Structure 1
Amino acid sequence: MSKKLFLSLFALFAYQLLFAQKGTLTGFSKGSTPEEIGKRLSYHFVNSRHDLYAGRYMHYAGVCTWNGALDYALKTQDQKLIKLLQDKFEPFFTYEKALLPPMNHVDYNMFGSLALKLYQITKDERYKKIGLAYADTQWELPGNANAAEKAWADKGFSWQTRLWIDDMYMITVVQNEAYKVTGDRKYIDRAAKEMVLYLNELQRPNGLFYHAPDVPYYWGRGDGWMAVGMPDLLRILPKDHQDRPRIMEGYLKMMKSLKDYQRPSGMWNQLIDQPDLWVETSGTAMFTYGFIVGLQEGWLDAATYAPAARKAWLAMVPYVDARNNVTEVCIGTGKKNDKQHYQDRPRNAGDLHGQAPYLWCAAALSGK
């Protein structure tokens, strides 16, 4: 073989290898590997104080981050981290019991997902008892329920239904974990029934979701809850479940739209379809997670979505600062029919709304 031919073949091989690597979710360079990022964010969370609602109850963003750190620890088999995360929960059984959220709101009840995840790791019945209480009370109509709550319950939905897109993570996450723990179909049936309701009521023709019916803006993190909730539900929903086709339809429709709106940098903006707004990290991480799961499960075309997911992850990494805080995270945001409202939202470094989905991505990409 001539030297010229050898060099040509070598160049072709190198190009094919590079192209193949760009189309996969492996082979990240040092400093950007999911294992490194996951470790930095997880240990940062372990050493942090609880994120509380007005100093009273555990905030759902903290629960989301805790779940992400546990997922990362399990994927990487980091036994030290698992133990630290378990130890962090132990005071809830004693002197921090007052910090347990009341069982009367979607944002509060999703705390049960953390207890149920810890039960699956430890088989400690204390976790199971707490977790199932949160899962069951989402469907147990309280005595002081109002007319709207009673109406939802009469139709077989959670009395906590409010048709906010956030709910399709908050409700489904605790029902999913209850199903994993018990194998009882009622839990997965509940989650699927709710998801179909929300898809039918809220998804727009382009696959995305307005922040609210009267607020025609596609807010990144708001849509992110759907981008995470759907694939997490589909992963455990039985193949023969009657609601699976509808949920898969909604998921694929959303993923296609997100692919179309991804910025050249790999990120997504605070308002998904508004190119003049700033890039936002929590929504970007949620959308990236939706891509990653779809690729790993074979629901998304690898040639189309793997480069997009890879580009997104690599774009996300530089937003983790030297203190292991995710930057450019939009703070909690209520609806408002005003574009400037979204443009002007403060951005926090280390806000757990951003730490959590970064950890979900790191966990999903880590391990074998």
Structure 2
Amino acid sequence: MKYFKKSFLLLLTVCLFQILSAQKLLTGFPNGSTPKEVGKRLAYHFIDGRHELYAGRWIHYAEVCTWNGALDYALKTNDQELIKLLQDKFEPFFTTEKALLPPMNHVDYNMFGSLALKLYQITKDERYKTLGLAYADTQWDAPANAKTEEKAWAGKGYSWQTRLWIDDMYMITVVQSEAYKVTGDRKYLDRAAKEMVLYLNELQRPNGLFYHAPDVPYYWARGAGWMAVGMPNLLRLLPADHPDRPRIMEGYLTMMKSLKSHQGERGMWNQLIDEPDFWPETSGTGMFTYAFIVGVKEGWLDVATYSPAARKAWLAMVPYIDQRNNVTEVCIGTGKKNDKQYYHDRPRNAGDLHGQAPYLWCAAELLGE
């Protein structure tokens, strides 16, 4: 019996040592690659940047994503100056820049509400709450002039903005999740979870990856990245007994296992995940890295397997930031197309906010609680 106890304690000690060692892989980064340094570079660079507009008229969702990331970083570092600058950047939307607010009639536009709701949680300024909830609620309340297909989705309890593009699993879930955080109203959480399960059932393939859309059978990195970020963010909020939690967790774990197997030797993922001859793409890599980091921190992913992978990816990502604090090798905005060469030939932008955002998400997450 004594031998059994000693063996058990030894095994337990070894296991704890391995877990702690793996967890430490997400700290102790070399100078120039620490999440605090990288996050500061990108967040303050965002402050100085011009608005990125959608269709030349309204705030683009990529800017909202980056703004949210900068706020998360500012909160983790308790950078009050940065919080104030980010708040000041928003203030004109109530006055001189009100015309730049996106209309409440498209999945990419309505996610703007997530930013207002995040700012409300920081400031308790009711103006943010009113604006943000309007975007969250109109994402579900079909307008009178909605198309037949849109009304059909609404009739089934889904967002009338449902289109089954993989991108939607961040655009829809982020604003509904922030509305839940602000109000505590379970309907917002249930909406996001119901929508997530629909997209999982329609788009996830047996190998754990996702088509860009049902009629576009390509594993586009950033497209899949929206799902990779949306699932763990939602899982953090879902109660243990939520009926949709098991399906979402299954989808998440299956995806993470597949992503691990497709990670490149240097730590990156390619523009099309399963195409070794395609180029390493930074926005998708940042999103997948974020998903690994969250999974390790929450205990959903094996630390000995995924901590080294996350560290490797982060260290591979940092050199893609140029001297102007722009993330390079970012695929530009990409609509679906059933053409493999189309994805290969997409232009790559330096400083594109599609890439700046996931870098900030990773930096904030690596900084701990």
Q: TM-score, normalised by structure 2?
A: 0.94
Contact preservation (8 Å) 2:110, 2:136: yes
Q: What is the alpha-carbon distance in structure 1 between the residues aligned to residue 266 and residue 24 of structure 2?
A: 16
Cα deviation per residue 1:242-277 (whole Å; 9 max; x = unaligned)?
A: 100000000000000000000000000000000001
Structure 1 range deviating more: 56-65 or 214-223: 214-223
The structural deviation recorded for 1:23 is: 5.9
The structural deviation recorded for 1:190 is: 0.2
Q: What is the alpha-carbon distance in structure 1 between the residues aligned to residue 340 and residue 90 of structure 2?
A: 40
Q: What is the alpha-carbon distance in structure 2 between the residues aligned to residue 109 and residue 335 of structure 1?
A: 20
- State the partner residue of 2:80: 79
The structural deviation recorded for 1:54 is: 2.6
Q: What is the alpha-carbon distance in structure 2 between the residues aligned to residue 315 and residue 22 of structure 1?
A: 19
The structural deviation recorded for 1:49 is: 0.7
Cα deviation per residue 1:279-328 (whole Å; 9 max; x = unaligned)?
A: 00000000000001111111000011000000000000000000000000
- State the partner residue of 1:261: 262
2:333 equivalent to 1:329:
no
Please give the residue correspondences for 1:295-334 in structure 2 after superposition, counting only pairs within 5 Å.
Answer: 295-334=296-335
- State the partner residue of 2:252: 251
Contact preservation (8 Å) 2:22, 2:303: no
The structural deviation recorded for 1:333 is: 1.3
AA of the residue aligned to 2:85: L
The structural deviation recorded for 1:366 is: 1.4
Contact preservation (8 Å) 1:105, 1:160: yes
Q: What is the alpha-carbon distance in structure 2 between the residues aligned to residue 214 and residue 108 of structure 1?
A: 24
AA of the residue aligned to 2:224: D
Q: Secondary structure at the match of 2:236?
A: helix
- State the partner residue of 1:7: none
2:179 equivalent to 1:193:
no
- State the partner residue of 1:3: none
Q: What is the alpha-carbon distance in structure 1 between the residues aligned to residue 21 and residue 50 of structure 2?
A: 42
2:163 equivalent to 1:158:
no
- State the partner residue of 2:284: 283
- State the partner residue of 1:88: 89
Contact preservation (8 Å) 1:76, 1:367: no
Pair 21,249 (structure 1): closer, same or farther in 2 beyond 3 Å: closer
Q: What is the alpha-carbon distance in structure 2 between the residues aligned to residue 111 and residue 154 of structure 1?
A: 24
Identity value in percent: 82
Q: What is the alpha-carbon distance in structure 2 between the residues aligned to residue 51 and residue 207 of structure 1?
A: 33
The structural deviation recorded for 1:367 is: 4.5
AA of the residue aligned to 1:337: N
AA of the residue aligned to 2:163: R
The structural deviation recorded for 1:356 is: 0.4
Q: What is the alpha-carbon distance in structure 2 between the residues aligned to residue 215 and residue 54 of structure 1?
A: 24
The structural deviation recorded for 1:21 is: 6.3
Cα deviation per residue 1:185-210 (whole Å; 9 max; x = unaligned)?
A: 00000000000011011100001011
Please give the residue correspondences for 1:47-86 in structure 2 after superposition, counting only pairs within 5 Å.
Answer: 47-86=48-87
AA of the residue aligned to 1:171: I
Cα deviation per residue 1:66-89 (whole Å; 9 max; x = unaligned)?
A: 000000000010000000000000
Cα deviation per residue 1:45-76 (whole Å; 9 max; x = unaligned)?
A: 01111100132100000000000000000001
Q: TM-score, normalised by structure 1?
A: 0.94
Pair 293,22 (structure 1): closer, same or farther in 2 beyond 3 Å: closer
- State the partner residue of 1:13: none
Contact preservation (8 Å) 1:63, 1:111: yes
AA of the residue aligned to 1:106: V
Q: What is the alpha-carbon distance in structure 2 between the residues aligned to residue 140 and residue 22 of structure 1?
A: 44
The structural deviation recorded for 1:22 is: 8.2
Contact preservation (8 Å) 1:169, 1:229: yes
- State the partner residue of 2:45: 44
Give the unaligned 5+ runs of structure 1: 1-15
The structural deviation recorded for 1:336 is: 2.2
- State the partner residue of 1:4: none
Structure 1 range deviating more: 327-336 or 110-119: 327-336
- State the partner residue of 1:359: 360
- State the partner residue of 2:8: none
The structural deviation recorded for 1:216 is: 1.4
The structural deviation recorded for 1:229 is: 0.4
Cα deviation per residue 1:83-111 (whole Å; 9 max; x = unaligned)?
A: 00000000000010000000000100000
AA of the residue aligned to 2:96: Y
- State the partner residue of 1:138: 139
AA of the residue aligned to 2:339: D
How many residues of Structure 1 are paired with residues of Structure 2 in the alignment? 352
The structural deviation recorded for 1:211 is: 1.5
Cα deviation per residue 1:145-190 (whole Å; 9 max; x = unaligned)?
A: 1110111111011111111111100000000000000000000000
Give the unaligned 5+ runs of structure 2: 1-16
- State the partner residue of 2:115: 114
Q: What is the alpha-carbon distance in structure 2 between the residues aligned to residue 183 and residue 362 of structure 1?
A: 28
2:272 equivalent to 1:293:
no
Q: What is the alpha-carbon distance in structure 2 between the residues aligned to residue 21 and residue 239 of structure 1?
A: 26
Q: Secondary structure at the match of 1:236?
A: coil
The structural deviation recorded for 1:341 is: 1.2
AA of the residue aligned to 1:144: N
- State the partner residue of 1:183: 184
Q: What is the alpha-carbon distance in structure 1 between the residues aligned to residue 144 and residue 339 of structure 2?
A: 38
- State the partner residue of 1:9: none
Pair 279,118 (structure 1): closer, same or farther in 2 beyond 3 Å: same
